[in-house]
Structure 1
Amino acid sequence: MNNFTYTRATSVKDAAQRASTDQNAMFIAGGTNLVDRLKVFLDEPSQLIDISRLQMQRIERTANGGLRLGALVTNTAVADYPDIRRDYPMLSRAILSGASQQIRNMATVGGNLLQRTRCPYYYDTAFPCNKRQPGSGCPALTGINRMHAILGASEQCLAVHPSDMCIALAALDAVVEVEGTKGKRQIPFTDFHRLPGNTPQRDTNLEPGELITAVVLPPIPFAKSGVYLKLRDRASYAFALISVAAAVDLEGERIKDVRLAIGGVAHKPWRATEAEKFLIGKPVNTETFQQAAEIALRGAKPLTHNGFKVEMTKRAIRRALTVSAKGGGVA
């Protein structure tokens, strides 16, 4: 690790002010991803600003019946919270599928949103990487790219977003509350993370010095039927090859409303909005769900080693929608 100073923020405003005056400063709370990056010199901050003692550790009901998750609430607390398990089960299942108990006990809501890709070329400093050093190249273009993106990628970066929790949050229309020196603002979850484009070094739309303070879940009654399906090389805490978060609302035998998001396929949690639009008013059957899957993957651009992801994703979408339409449960 490089030498850095350590300071403990006394308030959100204090944390934002410290970060805004030092572009090389970084926030630390649970540190489950940041410390790994520090150890291999991916991040070399001038100072770490400890925000772990700030008052952002509550889950509370909002005025309209949703839930507000403080940025420092642990993943364990979210996954085990009775109202989450009852009203937003896909979120609880996504978190439980994502890491060991020890990591969940330390990892936070805000930190989960800010974790960086696990692309091996990003982590191995022997290789060039546009995310580490813009303009140096992306070796995944011609190298081993089995785990890489098939949607929304660019020649600058093919990495995928690693979070399970974020896929569920994308499907649930979550809103991210942030605060900086210019005040507070809300960012719709689907706008929080970025596609790589020509700036793969930027993962989010946070401004310098801004701090996540909470994530808000709106009331979605049919989210109770939500499912989270994760396909991976091994069942024990591996990153997703493909994951799907889905919730279906029925009116008789037809689809009244639906939420659908996909993980393991893009640089950000991928909300399948065109497939959702197609599904509204359609009958519940295998053919409908297959057509929705085809629409969701219409823009896929598989690479040399990950062509299997296209068909795998379609099958996972069909399975998740089918299970949700039957009332939910484990997919």
Structure 2
Amino acid sequence: MNINNIAKEVFEIESQEIARLSDLLTEDFSKAIDAVYNAKGKFIISGMGKSGIIGKKIAATLASTGTPSFFLHPGEAYHGDLGMIEKDDIVLLISNSGETDEVLKLIPFLKSQENIVIAMSGKPQSTLANNSNFHLNVSVENEACPLQLAPMSSTTATLVMGDAIAAALMKLRDFKDSDFAQFHPGGSLGRRLLTKIKDVMKKDNLPICSQDSKVKDIIHTITAGKCGLVVVMEENIIKGIITDGDIRRVMEDQEENFFKLDAKAIMSSSPKQISADSRLIEASDIMSEKKINSLLVVNKNSELCGIVQMYDLGI
């Protein structure tokens, strides 16, 4: 038995089922998205068993991408938590069969309160589908389960449909990375998207030399500065930058005249700069694109006020 072949078969089956979803889309999808986008209330997700697990993930994705949403267990809802659902809320009910008893029990209340109901099931003619405002078809022809019993392809299809909902709403809301960061302030993601360069840059005892500085003094300044570089300045104007890599290359190329050279002869002019008010992700993008490890930080007057390096970004 080739175990890897089993995995490949699962990948193949589920990818085929996901691809089929495009053909199952109807106008109900765009109408449902329009309803959620224009809703005054929250977007509540409910489902039982594996559908409930997928529903929790969908709700979490929506909540983190600009759509107020939470998961409501249908059993708990039927025993008191229906009070969480307000009249302006839209409810997404998930059931692959469309006949899950705990889910169907919520419909009379939702109808009496005139909530918009979106059904997500694999049976377009099911009780759930027939009692909803909009139906999203997530039917599959084959489960990846060897016994065709455990929900695999069907739960994947449901999850992907949920992602499609979230992505469509993000586009409509013009949701940006800065908005995303507001909901993810913790960890490296929030740090990169929210923290500004001025909060992490080195700003004291910056390694600076003049254009006339000789190699020996330059090396001492680089060592003392502990940034692996020195900034060449003249009358508070940035003229260039010299890195420890530049020193090594010049030493190999001009060994005989090495100690006679000055900063002007070694420096790289027009070093990459970034504003102190820029965010870490901007510095990360520049460093990755230019394949460099350091940026000079300037203030609103284009004056040197710090140095930021890759390790400062916490990436």
TM over 0.5: no
The TM-score range, normalised by the shorter chain, is: under 0.3
TM-score with structure 1 length normalisation? 0.19
Structure having the higher Rg: 2
User: Which structure: greater helix fraction?
Assistant: 2
Higher relative contact order at CA 8 Å, sep ≥6: structure 1 or structure 2? 1
TM-score with structure 2 length normalisation? 0.20
